[in-house]
Every structure is written in C-alpha cells, then in structure tokens.
Structure 1
Amino acid sequence: MKPSITVMLLTLVSPWVAAEQTGPVAVSERDFMSDIPVVLSVSRLAQPVDEAPGAVTILDRHFIRISGARDITDLLRLVPGFQTTTSFETDAPMASYHGRNDDWANRIQVLVDGRSVYSGHLQGSAGLGLQALAMDDIERIEILRGSNSAAYGARAFLGVINIISRDVRETAGSRARLSAGDGGVADAFVSTGWGDSDHAYRVSADTRGDMGLRSAYGVNRVSRVNVTGALALESGLELELRAGSAGIDAGRGNADSPGNAERSRFIGAQFVQADWHKILTPEQDLKVSLSHTENTHRDVFPYLSNNAGTNYFGIPVDFSGYEVNQAVSLQHTTVLNPQWRSVWGAELRKEVLTSPSTFDGRGSVSTDFQRLFGNLEWKPLPAWILNSGVMLEQSELGGKTVSPRLMLNWHVSQGHTLRAGVSTAFRPPSAFEKYAAVRYYDQSGKNPITTVLSSGNVGPEKIESRELGYNLALPARGLSGDVRIFDERITDGIERPRRIDQPSDFVSPNDHLNIQNYRIQGLEHQLQWKPSAPSLLMVTQTWTHISGVEQLRVLKGAARYAMSLIGSYALNSGYMVSLMHAQSEDIALMSSNDGVYNIVRTDARIAKSFRLSGRKAELSLVIQNLDQPVRDGDRKFFFDRRAFVTLKAEL
C-alpha cells in the first residue's frame, strides 16, 4: 500500500476507534505560556513544540515589544528562512519563506485567529492579510517553517503563519499608543475592553503611516478597526465573534516610466467571523467556524506613453478587483486513549473574484473548495510520537489533490528531541494564472492589445519535502532551540515566460505554464536563551542552496547565508534595552534579474517603564537601520535610517 494511502486511512478512520477515559481536551492560556509552549498551528492539535511535526518559531508579546517592529512583516525578517520587504510597490509589505520568484507572497498561508486571510487577486498573496491586526492586539505568532497542506490545504505550500489575537477577557480597560519620528512616522492606537469572564468585548482602532522608502512614490498609511466578543453561553459552550476592516493607501509607480505612472492606490479588507466551540465530553470537543471576507483593490491610472502608438495614449490601465471569500468549517478533536489523539474535519470555501480588466469578456471567476482533513497523533512508547496527517482537496483551480504528511519525533533524553518526516503539498494556480485575459483597447474602444491570455490548462504546483530536525528544551537553564535540515523539491512550478516582441511597454500574451522544476536544500536553526524573565538572547542562521533552474530571481530568491541576532536586557531602574540585527548574503531582489546583493540592517530600542497618573506607561526610542541605507524590494528603493518615539499607556 502506498504511504499516502496509509496515512489517509490511518488519519480519517481514527475518530471512530473506541475511546478510553482520560483528561480533557481543552487547553488554557497557561499552556501556551509554559516553559515548553503549546502550539496549535501545525497539526490542529494542541501540542508541545517538541512533539509537533515540524519546526516552529513562536514570537510572543514580549518579543514583539522588544523588537520595535511596526508591522508583522518587519518582524518576520528575524525568523530563519524568511525573506521580507517593507515596500508597497506591488502589494502590501510581503514575507516569503525559502525564496520568491515573483512579486507576490503566494506560497505561504496566513491565518488570523484561524481565518485564512489569503487574497486571490492577481497571482495571490498573503500581504494584505499580514496587515489585519495591530501589533498591540497580538498575543503571539506561530510560524511553521515547512509545508503544511496536510492541515491547511491550498497555499500552505511552504509554511503557515498563525496570528493569534489577545484574549478579549484579559484586555479589560483602555490602552493607547502614539508614535512619531523620522520619515513621516505617525502612528496611533487606541483600544477599550469591558465585561467579565462570561461576556467580554474589545474595540480597537489604529493607524500607521510614513513617507515610505526612498525613491518610491507616495505616502503609505494602514488603518484598521477590529471588534471582538467572547461569550460563554452555557457549560462548555463558547462563542467568539469578530469583525473588522483594514485599509491601505499607498503610492506606486515611477515618474520616469509613463507606462507606469505615479499614483495612489487602495487595498482594503472587511470581515466577519464566528467561532462556536463546544466541549462535548472530557475526551471530545467540536468547533464550527464561519467567516465572510471582502477584499477591494483600486488601482487605475492613464497610460501616458506613445510606445504602443498614439491611439493608445491616455487609455486607462486598470489593476482593480473585488473579492468575496466565504468559508465554513467543522473540526472534531478526540482523545482516544493516552496513546492516541486525533482531529478531523471538513471545510467548504467559496471565492469569487471580480475584475473586468483582468478577465476581459468573462468579468469574474468563482471557485469552490471542498476539503476533508485529518491528523492523528500516536505515542507507541513514552519517548516516541508519530504524527500523520492528510488533506483531501478539490477545487476548480487545482483539481483534486491529496496532501499527506508523516513525522516521527523521538525524545532522546530530557530536553532533546529528534524528528524526521516527509510531506507533500500543492499550490493551485490563482484565478489570474488560470483564466486571465488582459487586453488594452485604443481610444475608440477597438484594436485590443492582449498582454496576458491564460488558457486554463495550468495545474497546481507540487512540493515534496523531507526534513530532519532537532528540538532543544531546557527550561531550567532558559534554553530552547530548533534545527531543521530540509530538502524540498518543487515540480510543475508556475511561470509565464516573458519576451518583448514589439516596441511597446506591453509584453506578449504568453500562457502560464507548469515549467519550473527545482530543488531547495539547506539547514536553519534558532537558539534562544532567557537567563531571566525579562532578558532574552536569540540567534538564527540559515544556509540555503537552490538548484535546477536558471532564472536568477528563483536561483537566488533565498539568501545563500542569512542570520539574525536579537538581544534584550531589563535594568532594575525600569529601563529595557534591545538590539536587533539581520543580514542576508547573495540574494536577488524581487524586481530585478541583474545580480545579487547583501542586505544588512541593525535596529536598537531603549524603553523606560513608569507610572502615569497611577497607570502603567512606557516611553521608548527606536532607531531602525543604524548603518548604511539598504535596498528594499527593488534596487532603486532604499530603507534609510529612521528614528521614532513611542508612548504607550493604560487609560
């Protein structure tokens, strides 16, 4: 029997195995903050990090605070294996794992409180979703470094970022933050919460803006509102309600390129979400989630060039789109006995993308996803944990796929765990890659020039991943860490070959094809030392080798060598100092195919805690990029030194 079929059968039939009495399924916040933290993002089962089937990085509220980062993307540059940009030129600031070969973060899945915030517009991206929450409202970020389609299906191709908001029952009262500084930095946040353990609510609003990168056009601003409620309806039954919106106003374009005029554009999202959680018995619980998300992209500008002929001067170039995503999922967790635990469930998801300019003659694309998943944890011996999982998925974009994973963890001794495993994952093409028909008509509305014409024949990308790992957990010494050795083989990678066949700014309408086949190998590690509760030292290193492809942006999409160093120390006087250093060597930029670069950035933060009218407050100074300006996203964009002051207070 094939391994994938074995995994599928083991995983999906396990919930019907006879159960034995044992402890409750529910996990408290105390578990997540324990010496060996518990994660939810890997197998959908609450597991200690050393029992999870993969390499996990956890960025908690303390780490977020000391980093001085103003958004999640900037924080992810400190995570091993990640490449980031703060540019708004193509999308919102983006993060990718193990390389990027285009301008879109479309190979990782981003969840916010379990809701997928992936946007299918154009080639697909998690950039907008990474802007869904203010940093002040985040409890922790769980990052699985490696494929996880077995748990989350499409788009969890190279990893999963799970952003978890603060428990609304722990944020009663009001909080505020103000930041101002170089480069037009002007941020503000306010939040108020009320209620009790049975009924609690929170409303937060914030805005973040600056002048953007040097040589990039326009002022960038992100504005958000989020409303959360938690209700205990009866014994063992909880309902969480969330709603919110995020809007990004940003500059784009180039004064030297009349075919890409300087302009302002808007990207926005609105959502509502309901999570119903019921503890059925001490061994079983059930969760039902529903969400409705709307994404809006507005980007229209005139074509001010004669390269395509005088009849095309001034015609509108439109990258706009409107997207509606609806999802309903059911998840059932069972403790079968002390050796066996399982989670299984199903999800129905509908995505409708409307963009007459992108789908000329068609107008919109509607896609239905049907998913059936299961993950099984088996402990045949106290020192051994076998995690198996599988996702069965069907959609109009990707067809039918089966994504299995098998991972074995061995607790060699107290605090030392080895793991080995294999997985398969898929990324379906975006609606643009599958069905795009982009045409530009002259001033009379005739004589179309076709620049993109997708035949609909492109299929999903596939990755087969093998990894060896080591987890270190010595809480008595304040030490924790993880090593991941990876071998990832991507086949049927999606690419649209480009060539200029006429004297214009418009490229020929080549089809999207499954023609990329390459291999990503390397080693990455993270080591964290907490000599005392407020002090922290963390170092990460990554060595990556990509082979089997000639395109520079793929071959050098991940740095040959990258590292980060984060340190913080709290003084008895109430001061806290921290330093963040990150560097990448021999890495290609997103927008150029002309060479590789070294990117080095060092930030510093000093903060003072005090009482303001009897309430907790903190004043901090952050200096980003202490050294020379660094290229960011594009060879002509530079991140300059920037300093800003922040005042946070309870009201």
Structure 2
Amino acid sequence: MIKKYLVLFTLIHGTGAGAQTGASALTEQDFLAEMPIVLSVSRLAQRLDDTPGAVTILDRHFIRMSGARDLTDLLRLVPGFQTTTSFETDAPMASYHGRSDDYSNRLQVLVDGRSVYSGYLMGSSGVGLQTLALDDVERIEVLRGTNSAAYGARAFLGVVNIVSRDVRETIGTAVNLAAGENGVADAGARLGWGDSGAAYRVSADKRGDSGLRGAFGQNQIDRFHFSSHHTASGGHEWDVRAGGVDVDAGRGTPGDVGNNARMRYMGARFVQIDWRAPFGDDQDLAITASHTENKIADAFAYLTDAVGAANYGMPLDFSGHDVNDALTLQHTVRHSPALRSVWGTELRREKIFSRAYFDTREQVTTEYARVFGNAEWRILPTVILNAGALVEQSGLGGDTASPRVMLNWRLGEGHTVRAGVSSGFRPPSATEKFAAVRYYGVDGSLLQTTVQATGNIAPEYIRSQELGYNLNLPSAGISADLRVFNERVTDSIATVYNSDPIDFGNIDNYRITGAEWQWSWKPTPATHVFFTQTWTDIAGVAPPVDPFDTQGFRVSHGAPRYAGSLSVMHTFGSHVSVSMLHQRAEETALMSNGGTGPLYSMGRTDLRVGKTFKTGRSSTELALTVQNVDIPYRDGDRKFYFDRRTMVTMRFEN
C-alpha cells in the first residue's frame, strides 16, 4: 500500500515552476510578522489565515514576560489545553480536549521538527517537553485539532511545535539564575559563537524545586543542548543538534506497599541533522535524520509478606528504555502562482527494552513507514483549498490513512473564514499491543500476572468537523481566531479493567463538541493583552463496568466545561515591565479521580515585575515573580496542591 501511494504522490508533485517555497527562504521576521508564517500545520510555510486549522503562537517575548519556568506551564494558556506540573506518572505533561490517561499520548510534540515521544511511556511526550530550556525557545506553535494528515499517529488531537532560537542570533554569552520559595533553585548558561557561514551554541541549565505539596521528594531537571547552523554555496543549509535531559523526581506515597515513595529517573539523549537546499527557483528539498534514546529507572522494595514471607522486600523494578531512529524526506514545489504542494516520506524504527512491561529481555521492535502530501490551491484570489493526506504502515496498526480538506475564504482584508473535515488515527502502543506484566518470587516462581495484552486491538480514529474565523487588523494591533468543533472518536483505546489479567481494547465511542477562541491586542509595541475562552462537552462515554475503572469518568470530564485565561503585559519607558496572567477552569476531573468522584475547579493568578539595565550591548534583568497568588489548587492528583510561590530571577546577556 505504501509503495502504491508513493508512486501516486511522485506523479502528482514531480513537476513545477514558480518561486521558492521552502522554509530556508524565511527569516524569524517572517514567522513573527503582522501576519505570522507557520510551518507546523500542512508542512508548507503559510500565512496564519491560510492554514487548514486553528493555531496559537507563543513568542519569545510572551514566554519571558510570563515568568514561567516550565514549557508545560505555558501551554495552560492555550485554548482547549489541560496541563499538570506533577511528576507522579510522568514528567509535567499537557493534553488537548482532556484525553490523557496516565500518559499524554495523543499529542504530537516536535522540537525543531523532531518527534520527542517515548515508546516506553506508551507514546507520552512528558520528558520530550523538557528538551529545551525556555531561554533557548524562539516560539511555540500549537495546532489545535487533529493533524494526522501531516504527521501521522501522534498528532491524533493536535501538534505542539517548539522552535529553538536561531543560532546566528545568540552569539555571545548569557547567564540566568532563579531562587525562591518551595525550594526553587534554577541556573543556566549559554555560549554562542561563529559568523554567517557557521554558527554554534552550547547551553546548559538546571531547574529544581520541592514539587507540589503532598507529593513525595524533590524534583530536578538538568539539560545540555548543542546547536549549529551551516551555510554553503547554492543556498544549501544544514543544522546539527544534540543534547540530553535528566529528570530526577519523587513519586509514590510513603507506606504504600504497591507504590512506595522513591526517586525515579527519566532521561533522554538525541542527535539530529537537518539538510535543506533549493533546486532552482521553484523547489526545495529537506532531509532530516535523528536518533533518540529514552531511559527510565524506577524501582522499590515490596515491603509486605502478602505473597509469602520469603518474598518480603523483593524488588519491584519498572525500568526500561527505548530507542527511536527516524529519517524524513520532504519535497516542496510551487507548480504555479496558484498552486503549491509538499510531499514526502518518513521511515521510523522504535525499539523498546523492558523486562517489566513485556516479560522478556529481548527488544520489542516496531517499524513505521509514512507517505504524506498536502497541497494549497488558490482557486480564486480570495479562496484557498487545502487538501492532503497521510498513509501509514506499522506493525502495531497495519495500514491506516488520514485525509483532510479545508476551505479558507477571505471575506475582506483581515477577515477569513474556514470550514473543513479531517480525520486522524492512533494505533495501539507497543504496551497496549504486547504487554505482559508478571511478578516473580525470589526463587523465580511466578506469583501473579497482572497485565496480559491479547493483541486483539485496532487503531482508534477521530473525525473532526471544524468551522473557524480568523481576524487580523494590524493597524489596530488586533488578531483573533475562533474554532467551533465537532470531534467524533471511535474505537478509543483504553484499559480493560474487568478482565483478569488486565487487557487493553477498543472501548469507547464518544463525541467532543464545543468552541474556543483567542484574542490578542497590541495597542502599542509595549503592551500585549491575550485573552482565551473554551467551552467543551464530551458525551457518549460508556459507564464503568468495574469499580477500579476510572477511565470513563476521566474521559468524560478530562476537559473542563469552561476554561479561560487573561494575560496582560506592558513595558514602561524606564525599562520596567509588568505582567499579570489569570487562568480559570471549571468542573474537571483530576488524574486520580475514580468512579463518579467529585469535579474540581481552579483559579490561578501570576504576577511579575522586572527591571532591565542596559550597558552598551549588555543587558541585565532583575525580576520578581509570584505564581498563584490565589488559594492553593489541586494539580494532577487530589492529594497534590500548587501553593503560592515567590521567586527572584536574574538574566544577563552580552
């Protein structure tokens, strides 16, 4: 099937004439202009009002003024998103429209185009979200809605594209420090050197605190990142990136024999090479190769004689690691002034090593082959048709396909409506397909099998209908976007708790409906107001058949009925900046909720004031940030609370 579609896409995209279309022709000014250019929707560089979907962009200025210490903490301000800062089941994670289970595995997270999910953690991107320090991030592009038509299985509910700063713009040194309540102790440094032909950057940082009240242990994240950019004659460019992240965090509960308090390690290492070149004035070719390794070390003693006195204190080890290798080729063509297209293929191999999850010392290997294609056709000067599809073949889900069609109609200057249909898929993870969790006594005898996947499981699907409106009035400093959605999920994958041992299956068919919008106002270059609201209803989830089955309730109420945020930022002429960020979410479930347990609401307000001192080309900023000046709220688990935190930060750049 893959070969058949590859031939078809080659025939369609093989010819063209016109102007350069690839990202290599763009600068950061293009991406953050009055009408920003985005890459993460169709894989084409498109104006925001021409894209087949709703996009939120958080730029470097917004990130700095927010006072956030963690990228996940920024995503809570994006319409439709839910986040937690808890380390209990994963690193801090984000989800869209509520479906996350213990891991957020229905959201594609890209860091400079590299997918950062962990196969061992069932496709979660929690650790991947920690790849870059916030000081190294240029912008965050968030597509709200399924994008399997461009990126495949992991983009089931949306895409978060994290773009690092251009190496050529970070020549020099930078140091940042933070200290405050709750054990906050952060430090980072960056060094950049080179010229327009070859530029390099090395950065390292650590972030530590005492975690949420009620959670066990300290949390610390250590990062190292290297990035370089090279240019050659003929417009050829290539980037080399490498780095790693180490997460040491507490989890469990003291005295809980099945989940005793301990420290857990989660880490990742990667290397990535990107090469881009124009071919004439009408075509670009890009090739990306990456290697990623994720490792988990998690073990504790089973301090009970419930399985025999001889087995008291036996080790329970949930450690494992996975390896991802990916190769992507992407060809962009302008066929005429009215027609552009991009097509390509991705090959990926995922290997998981886990005696705990699969009861084998051998690796569990899955191979993926994808072919994708998207076209932008300007039917009329005011009407654009975006159409595309992706087909995928894998050992977990067989052959799957996800098409998308979206029509964008510019009613007038600054006013665009869009309407379309898209579909997405997610094959079962290796754990959901092959898991075999067995416990053995100290003498090697089998004590119990708690999980045994039968493999009788198919991919889950989503069909999304969307109506949107994009407003852009540069003269007034106003931009806005509205998304009205009807998302139907079928054959949703979940844990089958009423099976002994536990299995995985296609359990639910449900519908997610609602509306969300964002409004940005910049009356002056020094002022930014950002306002969002979301209304979400999830219906059709089957009631639980087992008292230990918490999934149905968490799916039905995983997204709040109403959520909103308001961010106000201003910089005075004296280089004093002030920020206020407020978030509200009503009637939502937490990660630990079971049965028909209570729903929770939360409110959070952050305040920040900073002062910048400039001396020549050097600048130093001192800032005071207070996170959650409101009452403590539950975060991720009913036992965990996010309390008020006050911290002082210092940032020096030269």
Tell me which interval the TM-score lies in, with the shorter structure as reference length. over 0.9
Partner Cα separation in structure 2 for residue 370 and residue 124 of structure 1: 17
Q: Is the 8 A contact 1:154 1:427 kept in 2?
A: yes
State the aligned residue count.
637
1:170-196 per-position Cα deviation (integer Å, ceiling 9, x unaligned): 110001100000000000110010010
Shift of 1:311: 4.3
Q: Secondary structure at the match of 1:358?
A: helix
Q: Which runs of 5+ in 1 are unaligned?
A: 1-6, 500-506
Partner Cα separation in structure 2 for residue 533 and residue 77 of structure 1: 25
**Residue number among 492, 497, 502 corresponding to 1:510 in the alignment:** 502
- Does 2:586 correspond to 1:588? no
Shift of 1:362: 5.9
**Residue number among 7, 12, 15 corresponding to 2:13 in the alignment:** 15
Shift of 1:10: 9.0
Partner Cα separation in structure 2 for residue 164 and residue 101 of structure 1: 24
Partner Cα separation in structure 2 for residue 474 and residue 132 of structure 1: 35
Q: Is the 8 A contact 1:11 1:375 kept in 2?
A: no
Q: Secondary structure at the match of 2:225?
A: strand
Q: Secondary structure at the match of 2:12?
A: helix
Partner Cα separation in structure 2 for residue 612 and residue 183 of structure 1: 33
Counterpart of 1:294 in structure 2 is 293
Q: Secondary structure at the match of 2:78?
A: coil
Counterpart of 1:561 in structure 2 is 562
2:539 maps to a residue whose letter is S
Matches within 5 A, 1:37-56: 37-56=36-55
Q: Secondary structure at the match of 1:235?
A: helix
Counterpart of 1:647 in structure 2 is 650
Counterpart of 1:3 in structure 2 is none
Shift of 1:9: 10
Instruction: Say which is worse superposed, 603-612 or 556-565, in terms of deviation.
Output: 603-612
Counterpart of 2:450 in structure 1 is 451
Counterpart of 1:477 in structure 2 is 476
Shift of 1:552: 1.0
2:524 maps to a residue whose letter is S
Q: Secondary structure at the match of 1:155?
A: helix
Q: Which runs of 4+ in 1 moved over 4 A?
A: 7-13
Partner Cα separation in structure 1 for residue 80 and residue 336 of structure 2: 37
Q: Is the 8 A contact 1:11 1:390 kept in 2?
A: no
Shift of 1:141: 0.4
Partner Cα separation in structure 2 for residue 11 and residue 468 of structure 1: 28
Instruction: Say which is worse superposed, 139-148 or 22-31, in terms of deviation.
Output: 22-31
Partner Cα separation in structure 2 for residue 432 and residue 193 of structure 1: 42
Counterpart of 2:576 in structure 1 is 575
Instruction: Say which is worse superposed, 291-300 or 98-107, in terms of deviation.
Output: 98-107
User: What RMSD in Å do the two structures reach over aligned CA positions?
Assistant: 1.5
**Residue number among 522, 545, 550 corresponding to 1:530 in the alignment:** 522
Partner Cα separation in structure 2 for residue 259 and residue 117 of structure 1: 30
Shift of 1:13: 4.3
TM-score (norm 2): 0.95
2:166 maps to a residue whose letter is D
- Does 2:159 correspond to 1:182? no
Partner Cα separation in structure 2 for residue 312 and residue 517 of structure 1: 43
Partner Cα separation in structure 1 for residue 384 and residue 8 of structure 2: 15
1:489-534 per-position Cα deviation (integer Å, ceiling 9, x unaligned): 11111111225xxxxxxx9422100111111000000000001112
Partner Cα separation in structure 1 for residue 81 and residue 18 of structure 2: 43
Q: Is the 8 A contact 1:629 1:638 kept in 2?
A: yes
Counterpart of 2:547 in structure 1 is none
**Closer, same or farther in 2 for the Cα pair 1:496/1:645, shift >3 Å?**
same
1:533-591 per-position Cα deviation (integer Å, ceiling 9, x unaligned): 12110110000000001321111000000000000111111111000111110000011
Partner Cα separation in structure 1 for residue 313 and residue 255 of structure 2: 16
Partner Cα separation in structure 1 for residue 434 and residue 39 of structure 2: 35
Q: Is the 8 A contact 2:354 2:360 kept in 1?
A: no
1:115-168 per-position Cα deviation (integer Å, ceiling 9, x unaligned): 000111142201011000000000000000000001001110000000000000
2:416 maps to a residue whose letter is T
Shift of 1:614: 6.4
Partner Cα separation in structure 2 for residue 405 and residue 24 of structure 1: 21
Counterpart of 2:248 in structure 1 is 249
Matches within 5 A, 1:482-493: 482-493=481-492
Partner Cα separation in structure 2 for residue 12 and residue 552 of structure 1: 46
Shift of 1:62: 0.7
Instruction: Say which is worse superposed, 293-302 or 256-265, in terms of deviation.
Output: 256-265
Matches within 5 A, 1:55-454: 55-361=54-360, 363-454=362-453
Q: Secondary structure at the match of 1:296?
A: strand
Partner Cα separation in structure 1 for residue 104 and residue 164 of structure 2: 22
Q: Is the 8 A contact 1:11 1:376 kept in 2?
A: no
Shift of 1:256: 3.6
**Closer, same or farther in 2 for the Cα pair 1:34/1:10, shift >3 Å?**
farther
**Residue number among 622, 626, 631 corresponding to 2:634 in the alignment:** 631
Shift of 1:27: 2.0
Q: Is the 8 A contact 1:377 1:388 kept in 2?
A: yes
Partner Cα separation in structure 1 for residue 406 and residue 284 of structure 2: 25
Q: Secondary structure at the match of 1:292?
A: strand
1:289-333 per-position Cα deviation (integer Å, ceiling 9, x unaligned): 100011111001111133444344322212111111000110000
Q: Secondary structure at the match of 2:325?
A: strand
Shift of 1:8: 10
Q: Is the 8 A contact 1:122 1:431 kept in 2?
A: no
- Does 2:543 correspond to 1:540? no
Counterpart of 1:619 in structure 2 is 622
1:585-625 per-position Cα deviation (integer Å, ceiling 9, x unaligned): 00000111222100111101000011368621110011000
1:406 maps to a residue whose letter is V
Counterpart of 1:502 in structure 2 is none
Partner Cα separation in structure 2 for residue 522 and residue 454 of structure 1: 35
Shift of 1:443: 2.3
Partner Cα separation in structure 1 for residue 386 and residue 234 of structure 2: 32
Instruction: Say which is worse superposed, 442-451 or 311-320, in terms of deviation.
Output: 311-320
Partner Cα separation in structure 1 for residue 642 and residue 364 of structure 2: 38
2:635 maps to a residue whose letter is D
**Closer, same or farther in 2 for the Cα pair 1:122/1:13, shift >3 Å?**
same
Shift of 1:235: 2.1
Shift of 1:467: 0.5
Q: Secondary structure at the match of 1:476?
A: helix
Partner Cα separation in structure 1 for residue 94 and residue 404 of structure 2: 24
Q: Secondary structure at the match of 2:63?
A: helix
Shift of 1:233: 2.4
Q: Is the 8 A contact 1:221 1:250 kept in 2?
A: yes
Q: Is the 8 A contact 2:91 2:127 kept in 1?
A: yes
